[in-house]
Structure 1
Amino acid sequence: MDILFFSAQPYDIHYFNQGNQQGAHRFRFLEAQLNEDNAALIKDEAVICVFVNDKVNATVINELQQKGVRLIALRCAGFNNVDLKAAAAAGIKVVRVPAYSPHAVAEHAVALLLALNRKIYKSYNRVRDGNFTLSGLEGFDLFGKTIGVVGTGNIGAVFCRIMLGFGCKVYAHDIYENEELVELGVKYVSLDTIFAQSDVISLHCPLMESTRHMINANSIASMKMGVVLINTSRGGLIDTASVVAALKNSHIGALGIDVYEQEEHLFFQNFSGSIIQDDVLSRLTTFPNVLVTAHQGFFTKEALTQIAEVTLSNIRSFEKEGVLLNEVK
């Protein structure tokens, strides 16, 4: 089956070719993101494979239908960038990778938390400059702190277990309670309780209308002074302007994000020789207590291998059996 990849990076090419060693599929890789302007790049491929920042709205889906595309294969867990109603109306199926390596993203969230708390990035730069002083590098013990986890799917559940291992009190909020986590000591509480009582809040929920900008001026006002906020899920969960204001008045003590609301215009591209036009992100990166990584939480060998394997398995099932694995409806 012919498959066209949008937003293809060198690692995508490597891992998907590795998973296609028997040559069951014919691949064409494009570095460009899929959007309304370049859907015309599709030739006769029946399947397109897209990533988190590809825009698959109703206009694009209409173009896909005209091109004869039958399947949209997401090589990620999130699907908020796809108009599912338009896809269903066009008779185009959508599949995703619901879980690749939840440990990869959860561990990255922990890495952001530890680096922010213990000022690892600051001390690294100091030592490189021959400065071995400790002033300004003070952190706090995670042991005994209250960690609020919003969303306890695969990734959130792993994050909870890691925090329990640090000796933290873990509060969680989700529509569905994970009984295994409860047995381990996680306490499910309201979102208001998460906001009011947590020393650290980590977001692991999907982006939907009900969760968009769940971190806003009102919710921040109910949080502890100096709260640490971590987001490795979706950028739209945070109203960035409100977070900037809270950083300026020290209500938020530290921010670690691997996602950003306007990341589709920036992430996975090299702007090192240019002036970034996004004033909000540029402002964020000036704060000494903010760490921004460019959606790299998933970026491990294990996760990339799993993403390729599950995506190709989804496509094989669609092609040979007509049965859709991991369909998004």
Structure 2
Amino acid sequence: MRRMVAGFPVVCVFVNDMLDNRVLETLAAEGTDLIALRCAGFNNVDIQSASALGIRVVRVPAYSPHSVAEHTVALMLTLNRRLHQAYNHIRNGNFTLQGLLGFEMRNKTVGIIGTGALGPRWRRYCAASVAACWLTTSQQNSTCTELGVEYVPLETLYGESDIITLHCPLNPQTHRLIDDTAVERMKQGMMLINTSRGAVIDTRAVIVGLKSSRIGYLGLDVYEQEGDLFFQDLTGQVIEDDLFVRLLTFPNVLIRARWIMFE
């Protein structure tokens, strides 16, 4: 790495590039004084160390909140109406309807965790499609309350939501927010969507929830250990991440590789 960055005052990195104190010290020693992130999140950078070393850090302010909301709805509808399964059935010559029954979302309650720029957009897209929306976040958004959405404690959201969608940043408070305890509090057969950051979910806990049918549907655009997988063509190779491979065995799981940011 030292040879790659030597003499470059600016280094551009992505979401899975880890810049800890050791890396930052190397960058500073080679003359780097600005790090430009091609992503909105910055949990992969030791901000305190960067500041102490005199390195400025800039980032993408946000991805299109409209696009993220649309992708979230697409995941929900695809899982609910089993479009991914129906697509493969038809390609294989299977024209039966068994196993493809979904549910009407108009009677369901949706819980949104995180209501910055994305939560309100999602609510607008689903205004006529769901019975109620509940929110939980560290800071309330007046736009959401104007849309008729109710803020509730996290425990209430877990226990009463038919669908839970994650739109929160990754920080020490949200790291593995969806753990064993959270899954145990959820409604039987609920739908979980994560378009935020992979490590907000404890993958092992979610797999347990899928095996018990506590989680009836899982839609992911991110993954906890995505750094070894995403943005690469691994066709024909053995994927060594056993947890990821286990997720792929569930017919009610839909995984994409950060398509939301690819607009």
TM-score (structure 2 length as normaliser) = 0.97
CA distance in 2, matches of 1:173, 1:229: 15
CA distance in 2, matches of 1:287, 1:65: 46
Determine the structure 2 residue equivalent to 1:77: 40
CA deviation vs aligned residue, 1:274-301 (integer Å, no higher than 9, x gap): 100000000000100000101111111x
Determine the structure 2 residue equivalent to 1:193: 156
How far is the alpha carbon of 1:130 from its aligned partner? 2.3
Provide the aligned length of Structure 1 versus Structure 2: 263
Q: Given that residues 106 and 128 in structure 2 are in contact (C-alpha distance below 8 angstroms), is that contact kept between their aligned partners in structure 1?
A: no
Other structure's SS at 2:133 match: strand
Alignment of 1:37-76 (within 5 A): 38-76=1-39
Tell me which amino acid in the other structure corresponds to 1:169.
A
CA deviation vs aligned residue, 1:100-157 (integer Å, no higher than 9, x gap): 3111222111111111110001111111222221110000011131000000111222
Tell me which amino acid in the other structure corresponds to 1:164.
A
How far is the alpha carbon of 1:39 from its aligned partner? 4.7
CA distance in 2, matches of 1:79, 1:40: 24
Q: Given that residues 146 and 170 in structure 1 are in contact (C-alpha distance below 8 angstroms), is that contact kept between their aligned partners in structure 2?
A: yes
CA distance in 2, matches of 1:39, 1:190: 48
**Percent sequence identity over matched residues?**
50
Tell me which amino acid in the other structure corresponds to 1:91.
G
Q: Given that residues 2 and 30 in structure 2 are in contact (C-alpha distance below 8 angstroms), is that contact kept between their aligned partners in structure 1?
A: no
Other structure's SS at 1:111 match: helix
Q: Given that residues 257 and 291 in structure 1 are in contact (C-alpha distance below 8 angstroms), is that contact kept between their aligned partners in structure 2?
A: yes
Determine the structure 2 residue equivalent to 1:266: 229
Determine the structure 2 residue equivalent to 1:282: 245
Seen in structure 2, the aligned counterparts of structure 1 residues 125 and 39 have a Cα distance that, compared at 3 Å, is: farther
CA deviation vs aligned residue, 1:68-88 (integer Å, no higher than 9, x gap): 111111121111101101101
Larger relative contact order, structure 1 or 2 (CA cutoff 8 Å, min sep 6): 1
Q: Given that residues 120 and 143 in structure 2 are in contact (C-alpha distance below 8 angstroms), is that contact kept between their aligned partners in structure 1?
A: no
Seen in structure 2, the aligned counterparts of structure 1 residues 241 and 168 have a Cα distance that, compared at 3 Å, is: same
Of 46, 58, 69, which residue of structure 2 is paired with 1:106? 69
Tell me which amino acid in the other structure corresponds to 1:82.
V
Determine the structure 2 residue equivalent to 1:316: none
Determine the structure 1 residue equivalent to 2:144: 181
TM-score (structure 1 length as normaliser) = 0.78
How far is the alpha carbon of 1:232 from its aligned partner? 0.7
Other structure's SS at 1:230 match: strand
Structure 2, gaps ≥5 residues long: none
Tell me which amino acid in the other structure corresponds to 1:142.
M
Q: Given that residues 39 and 60 in structure 1 are in contact (C-alpha distance below 8 angstroms), is that contact kept between their aligned partners in structure 2?
A: no
Structure 1, gaps ≥5 residues long: 1-37, 301-329
Does 1:222 find its partner at 2:175? no
Does 1:295 find its partner at 2:258? yes
Other structure's SS at 2:213 match: coil
Seen in structure 2, the aligned counterparts of structure 1 residues 39 and 148 have a Cα distance that, compared at 3 Å, is: farther
Q: Given that residues 147 and 171 in structure 1 are in contact (C-alpha distance below 8 angstroms), is that contact kept between their aligned partners in structure 2?
A: yes
Aligned structure 1 segments of 4 or more residues deviating by more than 2 angstroms: none
